[in-house]
């Protein structure tokens, strides 16, 4: 039924000029029924293009009625996607590699965010307390790190950052916490380091935490981090709906050069205080997935024992056609 609804939307766009919007898409006033789509998200600034795309009507113009539901991390969102509660979700790539290794057939449909491409563009950070005695990466041996999900991309880039600096990572520990809870945990001494993303990097710095490294950039510039994913069976059963969602996501990502629109979307859709929004570092939004660097991420995850073998990227990445 969902696929038929999108086909009806496409057909409506092929009618008389009076029934068409610019670019041949169905006009917003058409009576075609929108297909409901639920997307699992995280409460972070990385999703600004999605927020903007929904508000600008990009998804509606593709025949989709998108709602969002907040989760804690990619691994936690996987079961909701597989069960059909969500049609799509935002997840980090190591969690998705691990899911497929465990027989859970999810596929990446759209890249959303990559790590910084230059040292000054980081939106991720390792934050420590000002009185912790930690001056830099060289002081991180044996420390406890807060991460959103265990056995995921956080461990890959933290271990790589330490090893690249010649620091022994054998005795470091990971504790699972939600992004909004990490900064307080560092200030209270529950953990030594928070693996953070915007807006919580800027919020942490304003609370007195010290940013000692961008672990994504330290792993590799423009490191593929996270994107939208869906279950393989749902994608096979709903190709027209999937294609419509992908087109709207691509259009949303292409709008990410509009810094004013991205900051407005962050202010409207996260709990970032308005006065903080202008200070945030904006993400490196990339609609194209760098498969060579994604393979590197898989190799590192295998080296660190998170994966049994390097992932099959042909199976992991959906073919958008």
Give residue-wise pLDDT tens across range 170-194: 999 999 999 999 999 999 999 999 9
Residue linked to tokens 């209270």? 188
Handedness of CA 165, 284, 99, 107 (dihedral sign): negative
pTM of the model: 0.82
Q: Three-state DSSP class for 129?
A: coil
pLDDT attached to residue 30: 47
pLDDT tens for 289-312 read 999 999 999 999 999 999 999 999
Top-level class of domain 2-117+222-316: alpha beta
Query: Which portions of the chain are predicted below pLDDT 50?
Result: 1-31
Query: Angle at the Cα of 26 (from 249 to 236), degrees rounded to 5?
Result: 50
Both tokens of 24, joined, read 């041949």
pLDDT at 27: 36
Q: What is the CATH number of domain 119-219?
A: 3.40.190.10
- The predicted pLDDT at position 321 comes to 80
Contact (CB, 8 A) for 302 and 295? no
Q: What is the pLDDT of residue 238?
A: 97
Q: Tell me, what's the pLDDT at 6? A: 36
Judged by DSSP in three states, 146 sits in strand
Domains 2-117+222-316 and 119-219 equal at CATH topology level: yes
Tokens of 145: 């790190």
Across the chain, what does the average pLDDT equal? 89
CA-nearest of 90, 110, 111 to 224 is 111
Between the alpha carbon of residue 147 and those of residues 126, 153, 167, 172, the distances in Å are 10, 9, 19, 12
Q: What's the pLDDT score for residue 149?
A: 86
- Residue 72 confidence (pLDDT): 61
pLDDT at residue 71, rounded to an integer = 81
Q: What is residue 3's predicted lDDT score, i.e. its pLDDT?
A: 37
Cα(266)–Cα(128) distance, integer angstroms: 25
Cβ pair 266, 51 in contact under 8 A: yes
Domain limits of the chain? 2-117+222-316, 119-219
On the question of a cis peptide bond just before residue 199, with omega within 30 degrees of 0, the verdict is: yes
């Amino acid at each position: 039924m969902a696929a038929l609804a999108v086909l009806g939307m496409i057909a409506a766009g092929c009618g008389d000029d009076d029934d068409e919007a610019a670019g041949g898409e169905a006009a917003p006033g058409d009576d075609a029924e929108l297909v409901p789509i639920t997307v699992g998200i995280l409460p972070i600034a990385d999703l600004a293009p999605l927020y903007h795309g929904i508000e600008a009507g990009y998804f509606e113009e593709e025949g989709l009625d998108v709602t969002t539901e907040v989760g804690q991390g990619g691994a936690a969102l996987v079961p909701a996607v597989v069960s059909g509660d969500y049609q799509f979700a935002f997840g980090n790539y190591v969690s998705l590699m691990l899911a497929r290794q465990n027989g859970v057939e999810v596929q990446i449909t759209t890249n959303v965010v990559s790590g910084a491409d230059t040292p000054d563009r980081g939106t991720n950070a390792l934050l420590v307390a000002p009185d912790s005695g930690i001056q830099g990466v060289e002081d991180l041996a044996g420390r406890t790190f807060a991460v959103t999900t265990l056995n995921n991309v956080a461990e890959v880039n933290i271990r790589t950052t330490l090893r690249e600096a010649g620091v022994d990572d054998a005795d470091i520990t990971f504790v699972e916490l939600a992004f909004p809870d990490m900064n307080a945990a560092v200030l209270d001494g529950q953990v030594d380091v928070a693996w953070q993303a915007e807006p919580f990097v800027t919020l942490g710095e304003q609370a007195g935490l010290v940013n000692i490294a961008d672990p994504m950039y330290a792993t590799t510039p423009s490191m593929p981090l996270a994107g939208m994913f869906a279950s393989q069976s749902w994608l096979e059963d709903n190709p027209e709906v999937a294609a419509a969602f992908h087109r709207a996501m691509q259009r949303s990502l292409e709008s990410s050069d509009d810094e004013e629109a991205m900051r407005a979307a962050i202010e409207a859709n996260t709990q970032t205080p308005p006065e903080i929004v202008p200070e945030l570092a904006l993400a490196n939004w990339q609609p194209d997935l760098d498969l060579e660097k994604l393979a590197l991420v898989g190799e590192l995850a295998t080296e660190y024992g998170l994966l049994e073998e390097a992932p099959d990227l042909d199976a992991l990445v959906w073919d958008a056609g």
